[in-house]
Amino acid sequence: MQKAAAFGVPDDRLGERVCLAVIPVAGQSLEGMSMLTHLDAQGLSKYDMPEYFIVMDQFPLTASGKILKRELIEWVKAGRIKPMPVRWAAQREAM
């Protein structure tokens, strides 16, 4: 992964939910579940897992190169980008 940003996606019931947006390294593809599996392996709590995922070509940036998360939120509201819902379910070990 080249770059990633977590930002809030508007939600009627909770106010907002977490979306993880990523820009993959050229020639690499990413899927939501593989990203959640990676985050779990790195020790991220199931309560902190993003609930939306989107792969992007580029992020809106400030003049100094910082990601404009407010702009990403506006893009979602306007329908310019459409994050896909993902849900983490830990794999149960065989008994």
CATH class of 3-85: alpha beta
Are 88 and 40 in contact, with CB atoms under 8 Å apart?
A: yes
| Rounded Cα gap, residues 28 and 66, in angstroms | 23
Entry pTM:
0.86
Query: Confidence class of residue 95 from pLDDT cuts 50, 70 and 90?
Result: very low
Residue 17 CA neighbour count, 13 Å, CB half = 17
Instruction: Work out the percent of the chain whose per-residue pLDDT is above 90.
Output: 72
Residue 94 has a pLDDT of 43
pLDDT tens string 37-77: 999 999 999 999 999 999 999 999 999 999 999 999 999 99
Residue 69 CA neighbour count, 13 Å, CB half = 12
Domains of the chain, by residue range, sit at: 3-85
